[in-house]
Amino acid sequence: MKKFLFLSIAGIAGAIAFPISFFRYVSLFSPEIHVYWIFGVIMAVILTSSVISIKKLIDEIKGIPADDEMTNRINREAAFQSVSSVLSLWILLLLAGIWIENPVVLIGAGIFLMTLIYAGYWFYFRIKGVTDDDK
């Protein structure tokens, strides 16, 4: 519990420090537009992980185990189903890279879309549930 609490506090402190340092950077330099996109992707990841961490912390305080068997199974199934979609996404992004001059934008978009694809499958299996079709 103490280790998880410490990691949660450190994550929240990082989530607060990152935007402050980014806006200091922007005030000193005039960055290109892709820097703002990368900032948005990083903030989306930070906010998502913070929400998950706070939810796990609240569950742990209530005495509910953070990772039960169903949660682990939903995570595995979402990851398994999203692999083919993510591979197709990267193939399309590599093909789009032929026409786009700045590959940093593609990498940021790819990471963001990977997150969205996994989250979509995770929400789908969270609502639908996971069944045993192997019988």
**With pLDDT > 70 as the criterion, what percentage of the chain qualifies?**
93
Distance CA 57, CA 6 (A): 11
pLDDT digit string, tens, across residues 80-104: 999 989 999 999 988 888 887 777 7
| Cα three-residue angle 57-59-65, rounded to 5 degrees | 105
pLDDT digit string, tens, across residues 41-66: 777 777 777 777 777 778 778 877 76
**Taking the model in full, what pTM does it have?**
0.61
**For residue 8, what are its two tokens?**
């949660």
